[in-house]
Every structure is written in C-alpha cells, then in structure tokens.
Structure 1
Amino acid sequence: MYHDKVRVILANADKYHQAYYESETFRGPSLYFHQRSLETRKSKKTLTHLEYVYATLVSWGMHRMGNGGPKMQSFDTFRQSIELLKDKIAEAQNFDFREMNGHKWALLKDIFERINVMASGTTLVGNSKVMHHMLPNVVPPIDRKYTLSYLRGNTNVKNDLDYEWQLMKDIVSDFFIPVGSDREFKSKAGDWIARQDEYPWDTSVLKIVDNLVIGSKK
C-alpha cells in the first residue's frame, strides 16, 4: 500500500535525519517527558510511568485549553483504563515488530480499543502515542500533520474505532515495519540510537522512522 513511500524514506534517510535535527523543532518538556515515559515503562512504579505518559501527550499537543482542538480525559479515567490492560501490555512489551503474527496483532487491537485517553472524537493519534510509550518496539507515534499527511496526502480520520485500528495496523505493517526491517536502515538506526547525545529523539527504530517522516517535511 505504501511501497513508494517506503522507497522514498529509505533513499533519503540521511537527508531527512539531518533535516529533522537541524530544525530544532521539538525540545524542552516534549523530549523530557518522552524520555522519562520510555525509561519507566517497565517500572513497578506504574503511577509514575502513567503520569509521564499523560504529561507527554499534553506536551505533544494532545490537550488544548479553551474552545476547539483535541481534549484529553481526566488522568484518573486514563489510569483506570490502563490498569485493566496491564497484563496484556506486559505481554506486548516482549513483542518485536519484525516478528508479528495474528495473536500479537489481536492483542494490540484489544489494547488500542480499550485505552481511554482522548475525550475528543478521534482515538488514532492519542492512542498510538500512548502505546508507543509503552510498546516502542511495535507501535510508533502517529499524527495527522506528519504521518497521515506524508502517507495519505491528507489529515482526515473517520471517528470510528474499528476503522482507526485498521488504519493504524495498515500504517505500521505496510510502512513502518518495511522501513525498519531494511538491512541498511537497521544499521543506520543502530548507529543513531547509540549516539543519544547527538540524537536524543532516536529512542527506537520505529521512532527514527517517525523522525524521518517529520524530517521529510522540513
């Protein structure tokens, strides 16, 4: 489905990676809470991890004060939805995007559909970002401005849970996984991840793919 987009990203990986970091677009709390969320995802201090994830979404623009824009649920509503999923999330934390199968996709679908973090209609963006900070090796963050615009040429999402899950699955399986599985790209990603002082946003292979998509727009 996204074959041409995969080819373009792989052919321009170095260029887009450089453009991403030269833009200096995302720093401050958006980076800090992102890093803390990932570092605490397997911690026994679940509340701390969820607070970091919740703060990450706010700093990534998922809750806007006043009229209009996306709105998040209360923290307690979000926390309660995750607590019911903790065993499934723990199982999914062992998944690798290169080794997905029917059971693993079904488990991710259940997690996606039961996370309750967004009060506004669309769940794709908010839920993918929550899942990324719990399952960075299988779910990338997806947004309208960069991901959907790059892959689909528009930012429209129908507010329907089944549709949004299928859209996320297609994006992950037909774009992120092929890019992340490329042998040459895998080598580059490993080098970038090892250089965190230079490339602090390169926190996983799938996040690097996301960074390249953003870099393609710079």
Structure 2
Amino acid sequence: MFDDQKLESLQQAHNKYYEAPIFKGPSLYFHHKSLESSRKQDFDRFSEHIYALLVSWGMHRMGPGGAKMREFEEFRASLKKVWNIALQLQKKEPGSLCKCDWEDLKKVFCGIRCMNTGTSLVGNSKVMAHLIPNLIPPVDRRYTLNFLFGKGQIANDLEKEWGILSKILKEFFYPIVLSSEFKSEADKWIVRPNDFPWDTSHLKIVDNLIIGSSKAIRT
C-alpha cells in the first residue's frame, strides 16, 4: 500500500531532520528520561517521565481547545495493567513476532488510557514508543499520517486505530528497519548520540527520516 511513500535519500532526510532547531529542550530531555526508566523497568519513574513527555510533545493544551490528557492517576492505573505484558515485549524484534506477540501489542495499545480526547493512536503510540521502542515508533498526524495517507484525520475508534498502527508497522516501518540499506546507515548514526540525540532506536530513526523527508519536500 505504501509503495508511493518513498523516503528521500536516507542521508538527505537525516540531514534535513537535524537542521530543524525546534526539537530540543524538554521534549528531548523527557524522551531520554522515559527511555532510561523503561530500560530499567522502573514503573514509577517511567509513568512520571512519560506523562511529562506527552505534555512536552504537545499532547495537552491549556484552554478550552486542543488535545487533552487524562489525570495522572487514571493514566498510571491503566499503564500498570499492561506493564508486565510490555516488559515481555521488550525482548522481541520486528522480524520475529508471532501471532501471540501481535495480540499482546494490541492489549497494550488498547489498555493505555492517556488521552481524554477522542483519538488514542497518537498518544498511545508515543507511550509505547518509549516503553517498547524496539517494536513501536511514535505516530503523529502532521508527519506520519500525512506522509503515509496524505491526511492527518483518523476515526475515533480504538479498534480501527489499532488497525492503522498494525498496518503501518507491517507494511512500512518493519520492512524499512529490516532492510540492509537502512541498517547500514542507522547503525552509524545510533552510535553517535552527541551528534544525533534523537536517534535512539531504529524505529525512531525511521520516524526522524519521515520528518526529514517531509521537510525536504516542502523546501
């Protein structure tokens, strides 16, 4: 389905991504903190770090309009219910998922309650991208959905939203991270955290390349 959504030259897209001056400050700080507490399997710290990350990534807007998050305790309770499933999924890789692994991914996705507005895909994917960065990239409307579907609108239906996420994983993200061309480039970037602080996993690098490709198209 996504044959027409070609990434620009990997190096060009990567360069474009890091030319952007906006991806710093608390959004980067809590990105690293969330990944660190996830690696340590520290539930209390992860739940606090990822809640702060969601705010810094624009998932809670002050005032009457815009995205709204649930109260922390409600979010924390939902995360607690799927925590052990997610920890088991940290051991998995995109090229070796079985049917039961996909069922577990769906349980985690459908179990997280972070957003108080209708759509769950964007918020839940951002949580999972830090809890299970080996299997899930962050998804957003402006870049991911526009790049893949030509529009950012999605139906507010949890089952359908999971269908969208699983589809783009199977048909776009996973084929890229399993390709030798991508691995060759990504492995060079991921070992240079001082130069490329957002290159924290192969799937996050694909997300970065989508953003970079989108910026290249607009210029």
Larger mean CA deviation between 185-194 and 90-99 belongs to 90-99
- Code of the aligned partner of 1:48: R
* CA deviation map 1:31-57 (0-9, x unaligned): 000011001103253211111111111
Please give the residue correspondences for 1:1-218 in structure 2 after superposition, counting only pairs within 5 Å: 1-5=1-5, 8-9=6-7, 12-218=9-215
CA distance in 1: counterparts of 2:175 and 2:92, whole angstroms: 16
Q: Secondary structure at the match of 1:196?
A: coil
Count of aligned pairs between the two proteins: 215
Larger mean CA deviation between 98-107 and 120-129 belongs to 98-107
Q: Tell whether the 8 Å contact from 2:41 to 2:87 is kept in structure 1 after alignment.
A: no
Q: Tell whether the 8 Å contact from 1:43 to 1:49 is kept in structure 2 after alignment.
A: no
Offset at residue 65 of structure 1 (A):
0.4
Label 1:103 to 1:172 Cα distance change in 2 as closer, same or farther (>3 A): same
- Code of the aligned partner of 1:179: I
Q: Tell whether the 8 Å contact from 2:54 to 2:126 is kept in structure 1 after alignment.
A: yes
* CA deviation map 1:107-140 (0-9, x unaligned): 0001100101000000000000000010000000
CA distance in 1: counterparts of 2:178 and 2:36, whole angstroms: 24
CA distance in 2: counterparts of 1:126 and 1:44, whole angstroms: 20
Q: What residue ranges of structure 1 are gaps of 5+ in the alignment?
A: none
Runs of 4+ with >6 A deviation: none
CA distance in 2: counterparts of 1:24 and 1:184, whole angstroms: 28
| Percent of aligned positions that are identical | 47
CA distance in 2: counterparts of 1:126 and 1:51, whole angstroms: 15
- Code of the aligned partner of 2:101: K
CA distance in 2: counterparts of 1:80 and 1:2, whole angstroms: 36
Q: What residue ranges of structure 2 are gaps of 5+ in the alignment?
A: none
- Code of the aligned partner of 1:59: S
What is the TM-score with the length of structure 2 in the denominator? 0.96
